[in-house]
Structure 1
C-alpha cells in the first residue's frame, strides 16, 4: 500500500468519523447547509484545511466558465465531500460528484446523505 493511498484512506476515515458524530448528535432533520458548517468546523478543529463552496471552473478548449460549479467541501486539497439531505441518492448526485472530481483532478469523493435513519446507509465512496 502506498503512502499516498494510506494518507487518503486515513483522511476519509477522519471525515466519516466526524460525519457520524454530527449525524448522531443532530439527527436527520436539518438543512444541508447546517451539516456542512458543522462538518467543516469539526475538520478545521482537527487541523485539516477545509474549503467550503469551493468554485470549480469548467475549462473547454479556450473557454473558461468560472460560475455555477461549487464543491460543498474540499478537504486538504485531496477529497471532495458533497453533502445531501435527500430521500435517496440519484444518478445525478453521483454524476455531480464524479464531475467535480474529474474537473479538479481529485481521486476520491465522499457523497454523504444526512437525511437517513442510519448514516452508514447514506455514504457513497467514489474513486477515479
Structure 2
C-alpha cells in the first residue's frame, strides 16, 4: 500500500534549493561566456529562458501577477524568473554594484511568491557576478497614538488607522513603498472612503505638479514610506508641503519598515 510522501524539512528544501541555484548559475555562466558582458538584460533573459527546462527545472518566465487586497489591485509584480518551490532569480546588467533598490525588488518578489531565497545575477561585468539573498518575513502592528487636537475629523482619522492597521496585520512587513502605497489606498477604499491618489496642484506659477500623497474624502492627506529607518523630520516636512498646496489642514505619515511599522500626524495651518 502506497503511503503519502512525508513533507520535506526546511533543511532539505534549502539543500535542494542550493543544487537548483547552482545549476541556474551554471547556465548563466554559459550565457555570459557566449554573449559577453554589458548588453541589455533582455538578451540574457532570452538566452537563459530555455536552459532550466532542458535541465528539468520547473520555472516561470516573466510571470506577471497582481497583488490584490479587498478586491483592489495594490501593485503588479513581474520578476525575470520564478523557479517554483525554490527561488527567484533576477537578472541585471550593471556598471556598479548591486544596490539597495535591487534587494528591495527581490525581497518583494519573495514575499509575494512566498519563497525564501532570491538570486541577483549581474551580466554587466567581465566575469558573471551573483548574490544569493534570504528573505525572512516580519510581522508588526501599530502602537496606539493619541489623536492630536488639530485633527478636524477624529472619526475619519481613527477609521483610516484601523483600516491600515488591519491590512498590516493581514499582509505583514516586507513590501516596498509603491506596494504599500497601493495597499494603503486599497485598505482605505475598502472602508467606503473616497481616495484620490497622486493629485495634481498648482505650485506658485507651475500647474500640473503631482503630489505623491493620497487625499481621503477631500479632508486629509496620507503619505506612505517604507523600508527606511522610520519616520523622520523630512517625511513630516514633505507631508506638510503636500498639505500646503492641497490646502488641507492635516494628514498622516505611515511607515512600514523592515521590523516595525508606525505612523505620525502632521499639520498645516490653512490661510
Q: Same fold (TM over 0.5)?
A: yes
1:23 corresponds, among 7, 13, 32, to: 32
Q: 1:90 to 1:77 in 2, by over 3 A?
A: same
Pairing 1:90–2:99 present: yes
Over the aligned positions, Cα root-mean-square deviation in angstroms equals 1.9
In the alignment, which residue of structure 2 is the partner of 1:79?
A: 87
Pairing 1:126–2:137 present: no
- Verify the 8 A CA contact 2:67 2:76 in the aligned structure 1: no
Gap regions ≥5 residues in structure 2 = 1-9, 136-271
Of structures 1 and 2, the one scoring higher in RCO (CA 8 A, sep 6+) is: 1
Q: 1:11 to 1:64 in 2, by over 3 A?
A: farther
Q: TM-score, structure 2 length as denominator?
A: 0.43
**In the TM superposition, what whole-angstrom CA distance separates every residue of 1:69-118 from its partner, at most 9, and x where no partner exists?**
20110113421011011212221111101111111111110011101111
SS at match of 2:62: strand
CA distance in 2, matches of 1:51, 1:24: 24
In the alignment, which residue of structure 2 is the partner of 1:7?
A: 16
SS at match of 1:68: strand
Gap regions ≥5 residues in structure 1 = none
Aligned residues: 125
- Verify the 8 A CA contact 2:13 2:86 in the aligned structure 1: no
In the alignment, which residue of structure 1 is the partner of 2:168?
A: none
**In the TM superposition, what whole-angstrom CA distance separates every residue of 1:11-40 from its partner, at most 9, and x where no partner exists?**
011001111111112111321111112112
